[in-house]
A and B are shown apart, each in its own frame.
Chain A
């Protein structure tokens, strides 16, 4: 079956610090990979995606590379801002069905 494993949280960083959030997956076939972000009281917003091995998704300074050999899709940002505080979900898609990780809460201090 399909599954997504995210590193345990929460994560607290100071503004302008470097961010890495780990994500690994198990899947049949060749899934697409996504990072979604959820702000308090809101639904999920697509942050970035990658549809095949070695693709790099990027948006708003965030990046993640689809690594088939390590079955990973780690999220990185070089300099976080207070406004990046949210819950981040890694997900894979097979046959239009999304499988999510548990999510990780990021808090950025001024």
Chain B
């Protein structure tokens, strides 16, 4: 079975541009979460979507937005890119909604975004 797939794997943008990152969850998983991992740090929670609705948002500015489609795939959008947005963006999927403990999150390999 395919795992969580993310595209593109690498991306280079300049300051002020916008970017769209894509994620396909494991088949049957309805929950998708996005995380930002800056070099040398642990991942930071950005968004969670479940059944196409936003169920959680981390401490990120409004430049970050996301959505989930009827097939449960998801997009993360970032506008007005800053140098500090350079990071590995990870997508994770799970079966669970709000009570996830017994349904762990499975991660993709991420999109490495570099801002010049």
Chain A residues numbered 87-110 whose CB sits less than 8 Å from any CB in chain B: 89, 91, 93, 95-103
A–B Cβ pairs within 8 angstroms, 6 of them: A31-B101, A36-B107, A96-B31, A96-B99, A98-B45, A102-B42
* A45 CB-CB contact with B under 8 Å: yes
- Chain B residues with CB under 8 Å of chain A are 4, 31, 33, 35, 40-45, 48, 50, 55-56, 58, 90, 92, 94, 96-102, 104-110
Q: A32-B100, A41-B109, A43-B109 are in contact. List 17 more A-B contacts (CB 8 A).
A: A32-B102, A34-B104, A42-B109, A43-B90, A43-B107, A44-B107, A46-B105, A46-B106, A91-B42, A93-B100, A93-B101, A95-B56, A95-B100, A96-B100, A97-B58, A98-B105, A102-B42
A51: B residues at CB distance < 8 A = 101-102
- Chain A residues with CB under 8 Å of chain B are 4, 31-32, 34, 36, 41-46, 49, 51, 89, 91, 93, 95-103
Q: Are A32 and B45 in contact (CB under 8 A)?
A: no
A31: B residues at CB distance < 8 A = 101
B contacts with A: majority SS: loop
B65 to chain A, nearest CB (A): 18
CB < 8 Å neighbour of A43 from B33, B94, B100, B110? B110
A44 to B105, CA, bound (A): 10
B104: A residues at CB distance < 8 A = 34, 46, 49
A49 to B58, CA, bound (A): 23
Residue of B at shortest CB range from A33? B101
CB < 8 Å neighbour of B33 from A46, A89, A98? A98
Q: Are A44 and B90 in contact (CB under 8 A)?
A: yes
B31 to chain A, nearest CB (A): 6
Residue of A at shortest CB range from B41? A102
Q: Are B90 and A96 in contact (CB under 8 A)?
A: no
B45: A residues at CB distance < 8 A = 97-99
B99: A residues at CB distance < 8 A = 95-96
